[in-house]
Chain A
Amino acid sequence: MTLIVNGEPREIAAATLSDALVALDYADAIVATALNGDFVPARSRAATPIKDGDRIEIVAPRQGG
Chain B
Amino acid sequence: MRLYDVALDSRLLLGTSQYPSPAILAEAVRASGAGIVTVSLRREAARLREGQDFWRLIRELGVRVLPNTAGCHSVKEAVTTAHMAREIFATHWIKLEVIGEADTLQPDVFGLVEAARALCAEGFEVFPYMTEDLVVAEKLVEAGCKVLMPWGAPIGSGRGLNNVFGLRALRAHFPEIPLIVDAGIGLPSHAAAAMELGYDAVLLNTAVAKAGDPVVMAKAMAQAIEAGRAAYMAGPMEPRDMAAPSTPVLGRANLT
Residues of A at under 8 Å CB distance from B? 6-7, 24-26, 29-34, 37-39, 41-42, 57-65
Q: Are A62 and B68 in contact (CB under 8 A)?
A: no
Nearest B residue to A25 via CB reads B46
B51 CB-CB contact with A under 8 Å: yes
Enumerate the 5 nearest inter-chain pairs by beta-carbon distance, A residue then B residue, closest first. Answer: A60-B51, A64-B40, A65-B15, A32-B84, A60-B44
Provide a sorted-by-A list of 21 A–B residue pairs whose CB atoms are within 8 angstroms.
A6-B44, A26-B46, A30-B55, A31-B88, A32-B85, A34-B80, A42-B87, A57-B43, A59-B84, A60-B51, A61-B41, A61-B55, A62-B40, A62-B42, A63-B16, A63-B18, A63-B19, A64-B40, A64-B68, A65-B40, A65-B155
Query: Among A24, A61, A65, which residue has its beta carbon within 8 angstroms of that of B51?
Result: A61
Name the distance in Å between A43's Cβ and chain B's nearest Cβ.
Answer: 9
Q: In chain B, what residue has the closest Cβ to A31?
A: B44
Known: A59-B88, A60-B55. 16 other contacts (CB 8 A): A6-B44, A24-B46, A31-B51, A57-B43, A61-B41, A61-B88, A62-B39, A62-B50, A62-B54, A63-B17, A63-B18, A63-B25, A64-B15, A64-B38, A65-B40, A65-B205
Q: B58 → chain A, closest Cβ, in Å?
A: 7
Cβ contact within 8 Å between A26 and B44? yes
User: Do B39 and A61 touch (CB < 8 A)?
Assistant: yes
Q: Contact: A25 with B47, CB < 8 Å?
A: yes
* Contact present for B88 and A60 (CB under 8 Å): yes
Say whether B84 contacts A39, CB under 8 Å.
yes
Asked whether B46 lies within 8 Å of A63 as measured between CB atoms, the reply is: no
Among residues of A, the one whose C-beta sits closest to the C-beta of B22 is A63
With a CB–CB cut-off of 8 A, which chain B residues contact A39? 80, 83-84
Nearest-neighbour CB distance to chain B for A56, whole angstroms, equals 10
Whole-angstrom distance between the Cβ of A42 and the nearest chain B Cβ: 6
> Considering only CB atoms, which chain A residue lies closest to B66 in the complex?
A64
How far does the alpha carbon of A65 sit from the alpha carbon of B52 in the complex, in Å? 18
Q: Are B16 and A59 in contact (CB under 8 A)?
A: no
- The proximity string for B residues 163-183 relative to A, scoring 1 for CB distances below 8 Å and 0 otherwise, is 000000000000000000001
Whether B38 contacts A6 by the Cβ 8 Å rule is no
Q: Which residues of A contact B44 (CB under 8 A)?
A: 6, 26, 29, 31, 58-60
